[in-house]
Amino acid sequence: MTHRKQLTVFIIMLGVYAMSAFLAYTFFSDQLMAGANVPMPDLGVSNMVLGLANAGIILVVYGFVGLAGYWFARKLQLPGIFSSDGNPRRWFLIPFVLGVIGGVVLVLGDLLFAPVNGIGRFPHPPFPTSILASISAGIGEEILTRMFIFGLWGLILNWILKRFNGHTLALWIANIIAALVFGASHLGTVFILTGASSLSELAPALLAEIFLLNGLLGLVAGERYMKDGLIAAAGVHFWADIVFHVLWGLL
């Protein structure tokens, strides 16, 4: 029964992710492109078709990736989607507090690095697209980095270190790897913002900002994933984005 509930909750989260992407591309595609400082390309299809296509891709690709990650979690004896303890404190309150703190750290980091990173303060998606972007990132990026990348490396490292009883060490190394991948996943946006085509063209301070701030948030989300599953990790990510991209973006 627990296995069925886990998969049911995952399907609901995947549906929310697909719906947020559909709404963003169907009704706010111009805002999405404006947030990235690039013009909307003419793809020869309506925004409705573009939204449906993105939603379909998410359901197929992230569905497969998430199911693989869930299998990794079961092999590693991790909670998977949510912990068996149904206490709301574990899947809502703690992620909310950690996410808000993480968002404040991102804001402070944005202010600290802005004078030296070469691009100033980071742009944010216009409101209300910023809310949809926070939902999409909170669910989609956590499925990819925590469930799949974390899980895959956790499984490999656990097999390598099992003779040394290194289960915990394997999980934390996997957490660090996933956090670095999470930081690197934001480089595409940086390349668009700066017009750079290689890492050598980016200011060292900008690279430090990307990997340090996103890496720290990724480590916190990974720690919650180990203890309470995908819902908790997505909660940390979502609330951090709400503080940084929505509230700070409005200010």
φ and ψ of 133, to 5 deg: -65, -35
Domain ranges, ordered by start, for the chain: 2-250
Binned at pLDDT 50, 70 and 90, residue 181 comes out as very high
> Between residues 84 and 37, which one has the greater pLDDT?
84
Each residue's pLDDT tens digit, 225-251: 999 999 999 999 999 999 999 999 998
Structure letter (DSSP) for residue 62:
I
Element (H, E) at 101: helix 94-113
- Percent of the chain scoring above 90 in pLDDT: 77
Q: Which of 55-64, 88-97, 102-111 has the lowest mean pLDDT?
A: 88-97
Structure letter (DSSP) for residue 98:
H
pLDDT of residue 164: 85
pLDDT of residue 163: 85
Binned at pLDDT 50, 70 and 90, residue 194 comes out as confident
Q: Tokens for 47?
A: 């925004």
pLDDT of residue 37: 58
Could you tell me which residues come within 8 angstroms of residue 165 by beta carbon, excluding any fewer than 6 positions away?
A: none
Query: Exposed, middle or buried: residue 152 (CB in 10 Å: 0-12, 13-18, 19+)?
Result: middle
Each residue's pLDDT tens digit, 60-90: 999 999 999 999 999 999 999 999 876 878 8
Q: What average pLDDT does this structure show over 118-131?
A: 91
pLDDT of residue 90: 87
Q: What average pLDDT does this structure show over 178-205?
A: 92
Instruction: Name the average pLDDT for the chain.
Output: 92
Binned at pLDDT 50, 70 and 90, residue 193 comes out as confident
Q: What average pLDDT does this structure show over 21-50?
A: 76
pLDDT of 178 > 70? The answer is yes
